[in-house]
Amino acid sequence: MTRMTELAATFPLTADHADAAAALMAHAYTDSRIGATPWSAGSIISSLASAHGFGLGINTGGQPDPDAALAGFLLARQLGSEAELLAIAVNQQERRHGYGRILLNTMIGRLKQEQTASVFLEVAVENHPAIQFYQIHGFEISGRRPRYYGSQDALIMQLSI
């Protein structure tokens, strides 16, 4: 763990973070391999406002300070024994410091406490860095969605927890 991630702290993402999260996502999702379109602030707010949606933010201040600049965030939803990771993004300058891992592990810890059995996600078949990231964290390929991202297929990945 780097010194920077030792100072990282997660906190619940709220509608107040939607503009910052949308801007971070717009910059993070510039690589065509990602396949996904960045979410608008309105879409982020809608996801957080849904009965089963939640989000996590991460900053580098050492304390969970929702007013500090976002280093990254994730959006997910949980329904019964299943959850879906909807989006995860880390500021390009903060990549390779473990923030994505911290966000993912925090989400998994929360879902374990709520006795969730599995987490699903979709990832573009060309997004090899993300596929590797998820596989390192125990996700397995469980299916494929043809043309899910326009002309690009998506892999369905699953983690049993």
| Res. 135: pLDDT tops 90 | yes
Residue 2: pLDDT over 60: no
Which whole number is the average pLDDT over 100-110? 96
Nearest one of 24, 8, 6, 3 to 64, comparing CA atoms: 8
Which domains, ranges and CATH numbers included, belong to the chain? 3-160 (3.40.630.30)
pLDDT of residue 1: 45
Residue 5 has pLDDT above 70, yes or no: no
pLDDT, position 113:
95
CA triple 42-156-35, angle to 5 deg: 50
Q: Are 117 and 98 in contact (CB under 8 A)?
A: no
d(CA 66, CA 89): 16
Structure tokens at 63: 């304390």
Q: Which residue has the higher pLDDT, 31 or 157?
A: 157
Q: Which residue has the higher pLDDT, 93 or 136?
A: 136
